[in-house]
Amino acid sequence: MKKFTFSSLLLAPLFAVLAACGGGGGGDDKPATPAVATLKSIAVVAPNATFPVGASQTLVATGTFSDGSTKVLNTASGLVWTTKSGGAQVVQAFSTGIVTAKTVGTETINATQDSIVGSVTLTVNAPWTQVSAGGNQTIARKADGNLYAWGSNIAGQLGDGSGTDRNAPVVVSGGNNPTWKQVAVGDQFAVAIRNGTTTGTGAGGGTLWAWGNNQNGRLGDGTQVNKTAPVQIGKDSDWASVSVGLGHVLAIKTNGLLYAWGRNFNGQLGDGTTIGKLVPTKITIASAPTATWLAVSAGETHSLGIQKDGSLWAWGGNVYGQTGNGGTTDVTTGPVQIGTLSWTSVAAGSFHSVAIRADGTLYAWGQNSSGQVGNSGSANVSTPVQIDTVNNWNVISAGGLHSMGVRKDGTLWGWGSNAEGQLGDGGTDSPIPVQIGIRTNWTTISAGASHSFGMQSDNSLWGWGRNTEGQLGNGTKTTSPLPVNVPN
């Protein structure tokens, strides 16, 4: 009988275990290496495919891999953001995925990693920032600094170098990369400020330009020749604000001093004469030679102004009591103070006036044949009378025979003539303020001869009323009794 030693009995099971595990067999088998997932595609998402000049947004790039998984890519994973054009004229792309709109146009943004490219196309537009409704034309400013005009162009008042009426916005000529700050539109002409200075005594101001009808020297360039494109008025670059009437202009410099030019038959320039001026002329008051002005407004034959101490002043035509001094005789000796109250805003219509006091209450006076004063009557008013009892008025504008206003709650109101739908409520004339629609996001208003324009808080632009000359800018010549949008 064969004998087994103790050690051999213990080793036998051990060899069996090794054999079962593959050990000790001398094989070269190794654990399999897991497959590495590779990037197959990139999807780029923008919060807004269209966004305005100056705005920024963050793009998100999501990668899809060969194993079906997805994850957000970034610079840590090797992602690189670029513009398809290679430049930054329309949109500037940053390494973090943030993009900033620089100017109006379209650009494609590429997101690249491991030679895989994903892209998204972005459109940059310019929202509206200011609007001025004139006689039968309208001019508005966009955030890109350009002015756009539409409506009657009989005297070149659209400033596009032609005499052709337009029923949709056209760019006002202005050389290379103009930066317009403010525009004011009269009957057949316009005056605007551009290229503001940033340092020195004129900081915040700009150069002065004008175009259109030049009868009575209303363009201020020393001639009476019409201009179909903007021409610079003088060389000063410290103009702060401008207001345009039927045939005269009022403008304030950054130092608060007042200048005027153009038609002066009724003393509307305020220089103590009835002689027109072909160039800007400084206006002083004998009783207040150091007075500085906060705001001015030019009507058809009269002018209104608020000095920096809040006092209200008027001068010029007064046949309907529009200067508010209690009489009906033209004020040709220069600005005269109206009452002793403090005011914050004033607007001169054709022959009526509207103003807001420092306490937010609304007053009006002058011609009232269509209820444009808003006091529920039709008789002319020669001194300021309070309109309704609320004290939350914020913005006002006076047109030909109608008035418009925005309250601090964002509601829009109109009163006076509605013969061509210029109140915007689809109704008839109103001798008291009536609310226009139900929106509470109106920010500003401008009343023209027989049409009106307003802007909402989203910078959208709306017009209503007469459109025979295309002054609503919506591509038609159909009068609209309700607000219609002018696209960006």
For residues 1-9, give the mean pLDDT. Answer: 40
pTM of this structure: 0.85
Q: Which of 238, 239, 226, 235 is nearest to 183 (CA)?
A: 239
Q: Which of 480, 365, 486, 348 is nearest to 425 (CA)?
A: 480
The pLDDT assigned to 103 comes to 87
Contact 278, 222 (CB under 8 A): yes
Write out the residue range of the structural domain in which residue 159 sits: 128-486
Q: Are residues 327 and 414 in the same domain?
A: yes
The pLDDT assigned to 4 comes to 38
Q: Is the pLDDT of residue 16 over 60?
A: no
Q: What is the pLDDT of residues 194-217, one digit of tens each?
A: 986 656 666 779 999 999 999 999
The pLDDT confidence band at residue 54, using thresholds 50, 70 and 90, is confident
The pLDDT assigned to 178 comes to 80
Whose tokens are 């035509």? That residue is 317
The residue among 288 and 185 whose pLDDT is bigger is: 185
- At 256 the three-state DSSP class reads coil
Q: Which of 267, 280, 310, 279 is nearest to 292 (CA)?
A: 310
CA pair distance 427, 420, nearest whole angstrom? 10
Q: Are residues 87 and 198 in the same domain?
A: no
What is the domain-level CATH number for residue 342?
Answer: 2.130.10.30
Whether residue 19 is contained in a domain is answered as no
The pLDDT assigned to 287 comes to 85
The pLDDT assigned to 200 comes to 64
- At 16 the three-state DSSP class reads helix
Report residue 377 CA to chain centroid gap. 35
| Structure-derived torsion over alpha carbons of residues 166, 168, 174, 178, reported in degrees to the nearest 10 | 170
Q: Are residues 324 and 463 in the same domain?
A: yes
The residue among 288 and 376 whose pLDDT is bigger is: 376
Q: What is the pLDDT of residues 379-400, one digit of tens each?
A: 999 999 999 999 999 999 999 9
Q: Which of 295, 343, 302, 339 is nearest to 323 (CA)?
A: 302
Query: By mean pLDDT, which of 10-19, 152-161, 439-448 is the weakest?
Result: 10-19
Q: What is the pLDDT of residues 345-370, one digit of tens each?
A: 999 999 999 999 999 999 999 999 99
Q: Is the pLDDT of residue 11 over 70?
A: no
Q: Are residues 95 and 197 in the same domain?
A: no
CA pair distance 474, 478, nearest whole angstrom? 9
Q: Are residues 180 and 205 in the same domain?
A: yes
Q: For residue 66, report the phi and psi dihedrals to the nearest 5 degrees.
A: -65, -25
Percent of the chain with pLDDT over 90: 86
The pLDDT assigned to 9 comes to 37
The CA distances from residue 420 to 200, 290, 349, 413, 428, in Å, are: 48, 44, 17, 16, 9
Q: Is the pLDDT of residue 243 over 80?
A: yes
The pLDDT assigned to 5 comes to 41
The pLDDT assigned to 32 comes to 65
For residues 163-187, give the mean pLDDT. Answer: 92
- At 17 the three-state DSSP class reads helix
Average pLDDT, the chain: 92
Q: Are residues 250 and 107 in the same domain?
A: no
Sign of CA dihedral 100, 106, 107, 108: positive
Number of domain units in the chain: 2
- At 110 the three-state DSSP class reads strand
Q: Is the pLDDT of residue 265 over 70?
A: yes
Q: Are residues 345 and 215 in the same domain?
A: yes
Q: What is the pLDDT of residues 419-460, one digit of tens each?
A: 999 999 999 999 999 999 999 999 999 999 999 999 999 999
Tokens at 397, concatenated: 């504008």
Residue 171 β-bridge partners: 148
Angle at 203 between CA 242 and CA 248, to 5 degrees: 15
User: Of 125, 146, 166, which residue sits at a domain end?
Assistant: 125
CA pair distance 188, 134, nearest whole angstrom? 8
Q: Is the pLDDT of residue 474 over 70?
A: yes
3-state SS of 127-139 is CEEEEEECCCEEE
User: Of 106, 125, 144, which residue sits at a domain end?
Assistant: 125
CA pair distance 453, 150, nearest whole angstrom? 12
Q: Are residues 121 and 133 in the same domain?
A: no
For residues 55-77, give the mean pLDDT. Answer: 96
Q: Are residues 213 and 229 in the same domain?
A: yes
Beta carbons within 8 Å of 232's beta carbon, 6+ residues apart? 207, 208, 209, 221
Q: Are residues 376 and 417 in the same domain?
A: yes
Contact 253, 243 (CB under 8 A): no
Q: What is the pLDDT of residues 68-106, one digit of tens each?
A: 999 999 999 999 999 999 999 999 999 999 999 998 899
For residues 463-473, give the mean pLDDT. Answer: 98
The pLDDT confidence band at residue 340, using thresholds 50, 70 and 90, is very high
Q: Which of 194, 249, 196 is nearest to 219 (CA)?
A: 249
Whether residue 48 is contained in a domain is answered as yes
Q: Are residues 137 and 116 in the same domain?
A: no
CA pair distance 416, 432, nearest whole angstrom? 7
